[in-house]
A and B are shown apart, each in its own frame.
Chain A
Amino acid sequence: MISRIKKQLVISGEITLLFQETVYCIFTRPFYWGRLLDQIVQLGIGSLSITIVIGFVTGLVMTLQFGYGLEKFGGTLYVPAIVAISLLRELAPIFTSLLIAGRVGSGISAEIGAMNVTQQIDAIRALGTSPTRVLVVPRVLACIISLPLLTTLSGFMGIMGGLIIAYTEFNMPLGFYINKVLTTITFADVLGSMVKCAFFGIVIALLACYRGFKTREGTRGVGNATTWVVVRTSIIILISDFFLSKLLILFLY
């Protein structure tokens, strides 16, 4: 038990050091703009379609459930506000982040893990360059930039999904739905959601890169690394979401 705690503390320390080195590399030269753009395309734009689908379907289901649930109490009119707030503040950030943790986090750890077991990481070092600067910085920044934008898109698609269900299932006028949504949500809701996702983006990219660097035991190790990343990042996202929500309610909303 003590050795397991010790091991976890060592991992936390190593991740903190990697974060520290990443921050240092972000603010010092050379900076690889080309690699950053590549990663934004690969991680961000590559996740567009699945984000749109998930956001849209979440909006459909949420509106359907809230609509019929609240209809019993004559509260259907509140559906647009409830759907918009819950999507923007919680569901879009969480679902998008979990999706990115699965799709992108596992991809990063597999890629870096495979580079590690084939000595490509050693080659980067042996050629006098920093693996953190070359590999981690572009991925962390790509996640910080892409994830908030994908989440905002996901929230928007959810609200559009809600609009369709509100109109077709509950005969709600389109103007009423849109007016309710626009008068309910504020800039703070969007900003809060983006702040959360930027934090989740750092968690996903950093843990995935860290585990990639620590990959041993060949292809089996690569498989283990991806599982480790998806499980750990999902848990951290879900737990930290509670504390971030509490902080945002206190200071922003």
Chain B
Amino acid sequence: MNTILEVKHLAKNFNEKKIHRDVSFSLKQGETLGLLGNSGTGKSVLLRSIIGLEDIDSGSIIYRNKRIDELSEVELYPIRTKISYSFQSGALFDSMTVYENIAYPLFEHTNLSESEVDQKVDEILSLINMKDAKDLMPSDLSGGMQKRVGLARSMALNPDILLYDEPTAGLDPVNVEMVIEVMKRFKARGFSGIFVTHDIPAARKICDRVLILNEGFIAFEGSISEFENSNDPFVQTFLAGQ
């Protein structure tokens, strides 16, 4: 499999606080990578850094052999249609309906006609089992439904890589299964993903490899089976803590 994204020696500070000291990893085409770690270890910050929502202090981020961490905000816009970010809270536009939220990137970045956009939105809504919620406002949706719509919106443009920021956090088991099913369908299409989560059973179902972030470094990197059978005291403590 080809490497689609590479993060090399990334460092990120917030004032005096060092979030990432030296983070390096790569993501292959079609692979889903689990990013684990305790709260406050900078998992979400890492995802935000990858698409340029946060500036990094040093290191590099390379997407399809092109360095993207040095690009300006305007130069990043086309990259963000290829690397999509699904927010932990959903971050839906609260003045728009579910339909308008999902159609937003389609109207912005494609030349599809209104009927084609309608068709595409219907298709995406079926994927998340929310076809009836088309005309609802985000305030009318439950937390789980908002996350699913956020996930659907980030998939609308068929990106190469989807960055999932804790999509299963705070959901009931039925909704967790539904989100994982959506992620599996996305993966089946050959797309890559980075899945930030605390939910190890969920990671087990979807991830090919896992990384554990700790104190600004990658403390563990390996396949799911290597992770679960690891003798590393840190990994064992982490698993026991979960």
Q: Answer yes or no: do A and B interact.
A: yes
Contact B77 A128 (CB under 8 A): yes
Task: With a 10 A CB-CB cut-off, give which of A30, A119, A125, A127 has the most chain B CB atoms.
Answer: A127
Chain B residues with Cβ below 8 Å from A128 are 76-81, 105, 108-109
Contact B89 A126 (CB under 8 A): no
Chain A residues with Cβ below 8 Å from B60 are none
Contact of B77 among A115, A119, A122, A130 (CB under 8 A): A130
CA distance A123 to B153 in the complex (A): 10
| A residues adjacent to B (C-beta < 8 A) | 30, 115, 118-120, 122-123, 125-130
Closest CB in chain A relative to B150 CB, distance in Å: 8
Q: Say whether, besides A119-B91, A120-B93, A126 and B85 are in contact (CB < 8 Å).
A: yes
Sample 28 A-B pairs with CB under 8 A, ordered by A number. A118-B89, A118-B91, A118-B94, A119-B91, A120-B92, A120-B93, A123-B87, A123-B92, A123-B93, A125-B53, A125-B73, A125-B80, A126-B51, A126-B80, A126-B84, A126-B154, A127-B84, A127-B104, A127-B105, A127-B108, A127-B154, A128-B76, A128-B79, A128-B108, A129-B77, A129-B105, A129-B108, A130-B74
Residue of A nearest to B101 (CB): A123
Name the prevailing secondary structure of the B interface residues: helix
Contact B77 A120 (CB under 8 A): no
Chain A residues with Cβ below 8 Å from B53 are 122, 125-126
Chain A residues with Cβ below 8 Å from B79 are 128
CA distance A85 to B220 in the complex (A): 77
Chain A residues with Cβ below 8 Å from B154 are 126-127
9 extra A-B contacts, CB within 8 A, seeds A115-B93, A122-B53, A130-B73: A115-B94, A118-B91, A118-B94, A119-B87, A120-B93, A125-B80, A126-B87, A127-B153, A130-B77
Residue of A nearest to B87 (CB): A119
Chain A residues with Cβ below 8 Å from B81 are 127-128
Contact A127 B87 (CB under 8 A): no
Those of B69-124 within 8 Å (CB) of chain A = 73-74, 76-81, 84-85, 87, 89, 91-94, 104-105, 108-109
Contact of B91 among A30, A123, A129 (CB under 8 A): A123
Chain A residues with Cβ below 8 Å from B89 are 118-119
Interface residues on B, range: 20 to 34
CA distance A30 to B111 in the complex (A): 13
Contact B80 A127 (CB under 8 A): yes
Chain B residues with Cβ below 8 Å from A122 are 48, 53, 87, 91
CA distance A147 to B51 in the complex (A): 39
Residue of B nearest to A131 (CB): B73
Closest CB in chain A relative to B114 CB, distance in Å: 13
Q: Say whether, besides A128-B108, A128-B109, A120 and B91 are in contact (CB < 8 Å).
A: yes
Residue interface bits B208-225, CB-to-A below 8 A is 1, else 0: 000000000000000000
CA distance A91 to B186 in the complex (A): 61
Chain B residues with Cβ below 8 Å from A120 are 91-94
Chain B residues with Cβ below 8 Å from A119 are 87, 89, 91
Listed from nearest, the 5 A-B pairs whose CB atoms lie closest are A128-B80, A119-B91, A123-B91, A128-B77, A126-B85
CA distance A88 to B135 in the complex (A): 47
Chain A residues with Cβ below 8 Å from B84 are 126-127
Closest CB in chain A relative to B146 CB, distance in Å: 11
CA distance A128 to B74 in the complex (A): 9
CA distance A115 to B104 in the complex (A): 16
Closest CB in chain A relative to B29 CB, distance in Å: 21
Chain A residues with Cβ below 8 Å from B77 are 128-130
Closest CB in chain A relative to B68 CB, distance in Å: 13
Residue of A nearest to B83 (CB): A126
CA distance A129 to B108 in the complex (A): 8
Residue of A nearest to B48 (CB): A122
Closest CB in chain A relative to B9 CB, distance in Å: 24
